[in-house]
Homo-oligomer: A and B are copies of this chain.
Amino acid sequence: MEASPSLVTPDDAVARLRALGFGERETEILAEHFVDADARGKPGHGTSRIDWLASWPGLDPTARPERVVAEEGYERWESRGALGYLVLAAVVEAQLAWPPARARVVVAHNSAPTGVLGYWARKLAEGGLVTAVTATSPRRLGHPEGGPPLTGTNPLAIAVPSSDGEPIVADVSMAKATHGDALAGRAPLEDIVPFGGDQAYKAFALAVGLQLLVEALAGDGLGAVLLVARPEADPVPAFRALADGARLPGDR
């Protein structure tokens, strides 16, 4: 495998983010996400994104997201110009600080880019909360029968805590290859189509459903929707036993 010139060390990542104007806490959040993405084999979402951030339209390193509705079963967040990574970090922190008694739907408006959704879902699961999260991204997937791009690659991540300490984290993009893969030179642009081959209509249908779910709840622009809930049961250990050592979603 070729060495990637854009892969940087954690210290480099911090220095580059500080140079973009991010404060200490925001730098820590962003660096941890990017370094984790590299470590989990998702370099398209990793430290290679730091240079790309410099070209982010209207990048405002001082912007902070705001929770504009906070109810037991529902929260709404506005990015207020903050990067989606920082919006989701704030959402995660808030859920862990004030978890729902049962379940809560959290909607984030104007919250791109969100990076690796499984990363945020894993943090919630490690804090004991069952999580499902989806987010829209720029329209890149067309109808399997052709036509213009209609939906983002719209990943769905689901994380479930486990008493054995290691949550299950499923994190699936509806695209054959993600834009991150293409950015990292690991996939050709023409692979940014719904996955599934002759059943690509299934991944396309999921991408459409998730796209409109987010748009209906968050409003215009790119957004994210999370379901966070306290588990009533602890199904992961028995599931791992049934799988008898097979590698499960989210395992390293």
Contact = CB atoms under 8 A, between A and B. Distances in A.
Interface of A: 69, 71-74, 76, 100-105, 107, 130, 132, 143, 145, 147-148, 150, 156-161, 168, 170-173, 176, 195-199, 202-206, 208-213, 215-220, 227, 229, 231-236, 239, 242-244, 246-249
A134 to B, nearest CB: 9
B208 A235 contact: no
A158 to B, nearest CB: 3
A107 to B, nearest CB: 8
**How many chain copies does the complex carry?**
2
A158 B210 contact: yes
Contacts of A158: 206, 209-210, 212-213
Given A216-B234, A232-B218, A171 B102 contact: no
Contacts of A72: 71-73
Given A102-B73, A103-B217, A195-B202, A212 B168 contact: yes
A100 B85 CA distance: 29
9 contacts: A73-B74, A73-B100, A132-B213, A157-B209, A160-B213, A170-B208, A172-B209, A196-B203, A197-B199
Contact of A160 (B147, B157, B212): B212
B244 A147 contact: yes
